[in-house]
Amino acid sequence: MLFSGCAGLTGKPEIPAGCEDSLIYRTVPNPAAVDTLLALGVFEFVKHNPKARRDIERALDFIDVALADENLTYLGLATLVAGQADGLTRKYGAEILVISEILRGLDREIPMSTCDRELIRAHVAKQKRYLALLN
């Protein structure tokens, strides 16, 4: 099962105040749309593959813990997320996330901005809320 989408991914949203140093806002065409597409993609995958839920929740927790490290770089995050997605893909025989285009923009060995760290934390929290709806 492959989830991807491009609707609403064009255009450049305004960068919110306090996020001027955000690499995500500079490299991802529409962060809000990408956030929603990824969250819904994972939700739908788990809805049809309930056995994957615990592994995906563990991967989200792992990413959340990594975000607490103030020395985490964009490249470190991209490597971590790609590794988690690859492990889940191998285990479940399905492409869970199509994230290569997003991760390609995060190939810099510089510390993550506070704004980007919070954006990703909010995304992880959204993923967890969506998965909780499957109870």
In angstroms, the CA 2 to CA 15 distance is: 30
The answer to whether position 82 is within a domain reads yes
In a domain, 14, yes or no: no
| C-alpha distances in Å from residue 123, one per residue of 26, 64, 130 | 17, 10, 11
Q: Does residue 97 lie within any of the structural domains?
A: yes
| 66 inside domain | yes
In a domain, 12, yes or no: no
pTM value is 0.80
Whole-number pLDDT of residue 5: 45
Query: How many structural domains compose the chain?
Result: 1
Residue 135: predicted pLDDT: 77
Give pLDDT, residue 107: 72
- Say what percent of the chain tops pLDDT 90: 39
The dihedrals phi and psi of 39, each to the nearest 5 degrees, come to -65, -45
Q: Residue 112 sits in which domain range?
A: 23-132
Phi, psi for residue 22 in degrees, rounded to 5: -75, 120
